[in-house]
Structure 1
Amino acid sequence: MRDGDITAIAKWLVGQGLAGATETDLVTGFCARCVEGGLAVSRGLVLIDTLHPVYEGRAFNWHDAGGEFTEHFYGRSDIGEAAQDWLRSAWYHIVETGCGDVRRRFFRGDPCDFNRLQGYCDEGHRDYFAIVTPYSQEDAFGLMDCVYSHWMTREPEGFSDADIAALRRLVPILALAVKGPSLARIARTLVEVYLGRDAGARVLSGRISRGVADEIDAVLWFSDLRGYTAISDTAPPGEIIPLLNDYAEAAISAIDAAGGDVLKLIGDGILAIFKADDRAEACRCALAAEADLRARLTELNARRAAEGRPATTLYLGLHVGAVFYGNIGADSRLDFTVVGPAVNEVSRIAALCRSADRGVLLSSAFQAAVPEDERAHIVSVGRYALRGVGRAQELFTLDETA
């Protein structure tokens, strides 16, 4: 590969990185341009760790069978078979020895002493080059402290010295370009996981100034666990976090599936909203989430009972009203949430589930906004005074026999 080709590829990578190209576009474009420039790459794989509650990182895999490309998330590499694969990999050897890169010339009879090398050799690849491109410790983000990559060729005499020199020059530029979209994806993941989808999108759009809030109409959901205090007092300490996670997973999954946004996890409590541009539709969505949650709890409780673990259910309050939705707090610590009298009311309604001996309580405003065809199974439970609310109001519940 000539210097002019290397310079052109480097310039392209920088331009694409500045333009916000995806990792997929960067890797596929890089491989195609290497081939066009005379560096006969037959296969390229780029791995970059991430910061995600489920996945450890993402892999981008290109090979010369029609420019075929795949990308996927990968899970933890420190347990099970994945851990053994990692310990047998060329990248682990590079990290442990600090050698920077590793080459195996299959055409010369070099050993296939790292994981999967024999398979690559059997596929007809003649030369293998693996490299680890580190970021500085100050720039590391969670596990994302480097880019792992490997490159192969089917050329009978393998990579030339000039090819290897070109890869050593270009791969760090590719790693830097890939870092941009990977960091953007981490930012989106973090705000969605910790703030919720809608609140996260608003924060990333630039709504981060204290006091910036919109008045919106919303269905408000507040739920907490029935008998949580008694369970936490009697259950083994190691059971408490798994119990909270199991029931939060059921509730959050049901809310998400119905189009709601979870804003807060408060101990065993969950505050969520269904934005109500159309109140009737938002109420319908909240009721769909409640029905979905009941089905999930039935399955969850059967499983936990079979395992001999504590099981319970949720109290749920539903209300609809105007709230302020935005940033509240100090300049150095903000919370994107909802505030207003309606938020206080829904928490009080949920708290009344205990004394009313009902799993679900609906406000009169919610009942009035429910579509007519959904009201057949909504029944009154009488008037109640809500603590901290100036007037008593009629509350409703769901009659599942209707």
Structure 2
Amino acid sequence: MTDAEIAALCGWIAEAGLAGASETTLLQGFCERAVASGLPLARGVAFIDTLHPLYEGRTFRWEREKPDVTFTDYGRSTDGEAAERWRTSPWFRMLNDGESLLRRRIGPETASEFPILHDLYEASLTEYVALLNRFDADAVIGEMDSFYSGWMTDRPEGFSDADVEALVRVVPHFGLAIKAAALGRIAETLVETYLGRDAGRRVLHGRIERGVAERIKTVLWFSDLRDYTRISDNAEAGQIIPLLNDYADAIVSAIHARSGDVLKLIGDGVLAIFPAQDRARATAAALEAAKQARLAVAELNERRGAEGLPTTDMYLGLHLGVVFYGNIGSKDRLDFTVVGPAVNEVSRIAAMCRSVDQPILISSAFAKSFSSDRPPFVSVGRYALRGVGKPQELFTLDPYA
């Protein structure tokens, strides 16, 4: 590659990175333009760590013969098979040795040095270059302390020294664009994981001004676990977090499957909304989520019971009301959530489940908005809710509907 071609490729990287191109688009475009400029690439791989509840990072792969870049999320590299793959990788050695470049001709004499070289030898590739671009200590996010890349050719004579020099010059620019894309993905993952999917998207689109909230009509979901206090008092300390995680998985997955948004996990409690631009659709979605959650909890109880682990059940309150949805808090600590009397009401409705011995209680506002000639509800009577002015008629699911 000439100096002009290197400059042109770096210019494209900057433009694509500023435009918000994804990692797959960046790798595809980078490799295709490098090949067009004379760099004899047959394959390219790039990976970068991330902040994700389940994965440590993501690997991106380009192959000249394939039309699209592929990616794979990888798990924690601290134990098991993932740890072994990491410890036998070129990048692990480079990190320990303080090196930033590793170059190997691929042949019988080098195939046993790293497992990846053995695989590349069998694929008839001829040379491999691994690059490691470190971040400054202040730029590390979680485990993301470097950008890792690998470049392969099948040209019989391998890479030339000029080819490797070109890679060394352009890959830092490429790594910076990949890091920017990864940080955008991390931000989206974090806000949606900790704030909820819809709330997270709103925050990322600039809805961060303190005190700005939207008045919306929504279905409100508040659930908690039966006898959680007793279970937490009597169970072994190491069982509490797995128990909460198991039941949260069952309940939150059901809410998300029906387009609900979980706003808060409050110990064993779950606060969620189903925005009600179409009330009939929102109430139907919430009710389907409730049924799905009950089935998931029943299956979970069967599995946990077989393993000798403590089990519980879900109490659920469903309500329809008007709330304020937005940023509430101090100048130093904001929360994107819902507030208003309806939020208090749904929590009180859920609390009444214990008193009337019903797993689900539904407000009259929810029941009246449910679109059906024969709503699947039965009244359990009128009750005074703590902190709520008027007694309310509550309903539960009709077992015969």
Shorter-chain TM-score bucket reads over 0.9
Q: 1:108 to 1:365 in 2, by over 3 A?
A: closer
TM-score (norm 2): 0.98
Tell me, yes or no, if the aligned pair for 2:325 and 2:337 is still in contact at 8 Å. yes
Match of 2:397 in 1: 398
One-letter amino acid matched to 1:27: L
Deviation at 1:388, TM superposition (A): 0.7
What secondary structure does 2:182 align onto? helix
1:2-401 mapped onto 2 (5 Å cutoff): 2-106=2-106, 109-110=109-110, 112-373=112-373, 375=375, 377-401=376-400
Q: 1:362 to 1:128 in 2, by over 3 A?
A: same
How far apart in 2 are the matches of 1:275 and 1:110?
A: 60
- The runs of at least 4 consecutive aligned structure 1 residues that moved more than 6 Å come to none
What secondary structure does 2:114 align onto? coil
One-letter amino acid matched to 1:278: D
Deviation at 1:112, TM superposition (A): 3.7
How far apart in 1 are the matches of 2:274 and 2:226?
A: 23
How far apart in 1 are the matches of 2:61 and 2:49?
A: 15
Tell me, yes or no, if the aligned pair for 2:111 and 2:121 is still in contact at 8 Å. no
Uncovered stretches (5+) of structure 2, i.e. residues with no partner: none
What secondary structure does 1:310 align onto? coil
What secondary structure does 2:43 align onto? strand
What secondary structure does 1:214 align onto? strand
Deviation at 1:229, TM superposition (A): 0.8
Q: 1:374 to 1:176 in 2, by over 3 A?
A: farther
How far apart in 2 are the matches of 1:378 and 1:66?
A: 56
How far apart in 1 are the matches of 2:338 and 2:189?
A: 21
One-letter amino acid matched to 1:289: A
How far apart in 1 are the matches of 2:78 and 2:30?
A: 30
How far apart in 2 are the matches of 1:20 and 1:191?
A: 18
Tell me, yes or no, if the aligned pair for 2:110 and 2:117 is still in contact at 8 Å. no
One-letter amino acid matched to 2:267: G
Identity %: 57
What secondary structure does 1:215 align onto? strand
Tell me, yes or no, if the aligned pair for 2:27 and 2:69 is still in contact at 8 Å. no
Tell me, yes or no, if the aligned pair for 1:104 and 1:111 is still in contact at 8 Å. no
Deviation at 1:66, TM superposition (A): 4.5
How far apart in 1 are the matches of 2:150 and 2:54?
A: 25
One-letter amino acid matched to 2:398: D
How far apart in 2 are the matches of 1:291 and 1:390?
A: 30
Superposed CA deviations along residues 285-323 of structure 1, whole A, max 9, x for unmatched, are 110001101110111000011001111101111110100
How far apart in 2 are the matches of 1:387 and 1:282?
A: 26
Superposed CA deviations along residues 60-99 of structure 1, whole A, max 9, x for unmatched, are 1111214553122122222211111111100100011111
One-letter amino acid matched to 1:205: H
Superposed CA deviations along residues 133-188 of structure 1, whole A, max 9, x for unmatched, are 11111111112221111111111111111111111111111000111111111000
How far apart in 2 are the matches of 1:42 and 1:206?
A: 42
TM-score (norm 1): 0.97
One-letter amino acid matched to 2:197: R
One-letter amino acid matched to 1:396: F
Query: Relative to structure 2, which stretch is displaced further, 255-264 or 17-26?
Result: 17-26
One-letter amino acid matched to 2:175: A
How far apart in 2 are the matches of 1:89 and 1:13?
A: 27
Deviation at 1:108, TM superposition (A): 9.4
Tell me, yes or no, if the aligned pair for 1:129 and 1:152 is still in contact at 8 Å. yes
One-letter amino acid matched to 2:99: C
Q: 1:26 to 1:378 in 2, by over 3 A?
A: same
Deviation at 1:115, TM superposition (A): 2.0
How far apart in 2 are the matches of 1:107 and 1:235?
A: 58
How far apart in 2 are the matches of 1:199 and 1:328?
A: 12
How many residue pairs end up in the alignment? 401
How far apart in 2 are the matches of 1:298 and 1:63?
A: 46
What secondary structure does 1:41 align onto? coil
Deviation at 1:373, TM superposition (A): 3.9
Tell me, yes or no, if the aligned pair for 1:382 and 1:395 is still in contact at 8 Å. yes
How far apart in 2 are the matches of 1:108 and 1:298?
A: 56
How far apart in 2 are the matches of 1:109 and 1:301?
A: 56
How far apart in 1 are the matches of 2:378 and 2:221?
A: 19
Uncovered stretches (5+) of structure 1, i.e. residues with no partner: none
How far apart in 1 are the matches of 2:215 and 2:66?
A: 53
